[in-house]
């Protein structure tokens, strides 16, 4: 098999994410590291929404403690060093993950590079500074920092179909068997649920390449 696979023939990689989850950050960084040796075998990593908190409702004390514990566990991983549970311990926690996901969908309309810039800004504010990124005023400020046309962004964010698409994609993910974020879907065939180590992601991607792309067992793409 030639070492270079035409881009149109490369399997897709879809990461189902919630930007309020530090484990989605961990998964993305580990997948990116795993792809360094296999980037020519796969298409670029694409993000799809999977809100871990769908409906806006008050957070109970038990939920706060559970969410804070999850952040503290993630903070022990090198890829999430510096994250803080302040988001969930503050008097103003996000009641739903839908608003930041809708913001990412609105940013995508101005280009994937702007979407990625906003994703980084959302994570930095929420996971590292404990800022409630479900608030509109915060989203507008972060959109401006990410270089977005804020007026256009605000119009797209406010449009009812933007949130509706997030919910539709979430339902579609559930129909596909996705039950948790992060979840990686490879080539619309293999589902890798939950965060894995960089070595595990690399092994899974290499195994897929060998099984589906006839990559020789002793061949590594560079």
The CATH number of the domain holding residue 150 is: 3.40.30.10
Contact call for residues 104 and 118 (beta carbons, < 8 A): yes
Does a structural domain hold residue 147? yes
Contact call for residues 193 and 200 (beta carbons, < 8 A): no
> What share of the chain in percent tops pLDDT 70?
92
Given this model, what pLDDT does residue 219 score? 46
Does a structural domain hold residue 152? yes
Does a structural domain hold residue 75? yes
Does a structural domain hold residue 199? yes
Does a structural domain hold residue 217? no
pTM as predicted: 0.91
Res. 40 pLDDT band, cuts 50 70 90: confident
Given this model, what pLDDT does residue 1 score? 38
Does a structural domain hold residue 1? no
Residue range 49-66: average pLDDT? 95
Q: How many domains does the chain have?
A: 1
In the DSSP assignment, the letter for residue 76 is T
Task: Identify the domain containing residue 32 by its residue range.
Answer: 7-212
Strands (E), 91-205: 183-186, 190-193
Residue range 81-107: average pLDDT? 97
Does a structural domain hold residue 23? yes
Distances (CA, A) of 25 to 49, 61, 122, 138, 149: 13, 25, 11, 20, 26
Does a structural domain hold residue 218? no
C-alpha 182/C-alpha 197 separation (Å) is 13
Residue range 122-146: average pLDDT? 98
* Interval 174-191: pLDDT, tens: 999 999 999 999 999 999
Contact call for residues 194 and 182 (beta carbons, < 8 A): yes
């Amino acid at each position: 098999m030639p070492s270079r696979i035409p881009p149109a023939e490369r399997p897709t990689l879809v990461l189902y994410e919630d930007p309020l989850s530090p484990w989605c950050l961990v998964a993305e960084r580990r997948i990116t590291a795993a792809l360094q040796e296999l980037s020519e075998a796969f298409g670029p990593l694409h993000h799809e929404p999977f809100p871990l908190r769908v409906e806006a409702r008050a957070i109970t004390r038990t939920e706060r403690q559970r969410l804070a514990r999850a952040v503290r566990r993630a903070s022990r991983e090198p890829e999430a060093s510096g994250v803080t549970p302040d988001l969930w311990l503050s008097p103003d926690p996000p009641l739903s993950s839908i608003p930041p996901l809708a913001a990412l969908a609105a940013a995508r309309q101005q280009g994937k590079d702007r979407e990625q810039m906003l994703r980084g800004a959302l994570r930095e504010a929420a996971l590292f500074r404990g800022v409630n990124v479900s608030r509109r005023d915060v989203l507008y400020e972060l959109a401006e920092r990410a270089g977005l046309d804020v007026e256009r962004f605000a119009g797209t964010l406010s449009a009812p179909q933007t949130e509706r698409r997030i919910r539709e994609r979430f339902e579609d993910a559930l129909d596909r068997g996705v039950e948790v974020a992060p979840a990686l879907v490879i080539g619309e065939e293999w589902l890798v649920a939950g965060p894995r180590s960089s070595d595990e992601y690399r092994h899974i991607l290499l195994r897929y390449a060998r099984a589906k792309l006839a990559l020789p067992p002793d061949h590594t793409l560079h």
